[in-house]
Amino acid sequence: MTVGADVSTTARQPAPWADRIGRGLMALNAAATLVPFAGGIMVMIADSVSDDRVITEAWRTFAYIVFAGLWAVLAVAPRRQWGLWELLLFQKGAITVYAFAMWDMPDAPTTAFIDLTVTATTAVAYVLCRGWYAWRADAQSR
């Protein structure tokens, strides 16, 4: 009976409202990440970075574009990117834990709260968009 197959397919998809909210959170993370990217560019242009930190600061600044791109990809196709959700959650979760552990270091409190926010929004979006469905064999068809 084809009704069972249709019900199964429909039940696996997130509710339209949940999918929109999850995708919106990923788009928001992508857009918000452009702010520190612009700030990093301004720091490098202003030549306010010491010579022994300039490469590290450039690496950090350009990494913001990578993260913005990863969140944008998930906003567009949240159930077609196997491993991307988990990779983002791992990295952002790890840096959040590390920043809280190193609380007395410069920038640790700011980093902890910013990365906690993007970790939380990514986790919520993962659930809302059912990001784990990317691991299913039929994920490329959705």
23 lies in some domain:
yes
Predicted confidence (pLDDT) at residue 118 exceeds the cutoff of 60: yes
Are the C-beta atoms of 80 and 74 separated by less than 8 Å?
Answer: no
129 lies in some domain:
yes
pTM: 0.86
Task: Measure the CA–CA gap between 14 and 130, rounded to whole angstroms.
Answer: 6
Distances (CA, A) of 86 to 12, 103, 135: 19, 25, 11
Within 13 Å of residue 85, how many CA atoms lie on the same side as its CB?
29
pLDDT band at 138 (very low <50, low <70, confident <90, very high): confident
21 lies in some domain:
yes
CB atoms within 10 A of CB 12: 13
Predicted confidence (pLDDT) at residue 49 exceeds the cutoff of 70: yes
* Containing structural domain, residue 114: 15-134
Predicted confidence (pLDDT) at residue 8 exceeds the cutoff of 50: no
Residue with tokens 């690496």: 59
Q: Give the count of domains, the chain.
A: 1
Predicted confidence (pLDDT) at residue 81 exceeds the cutoff of 50: yes
**Average pLDDT of the residues in 59-79:** 96
Mean pLDDT of the chain, nearest integer: 89
9 lies in some domain:
no
pLDDT above 90 covers a percentage of the chain that reads 74
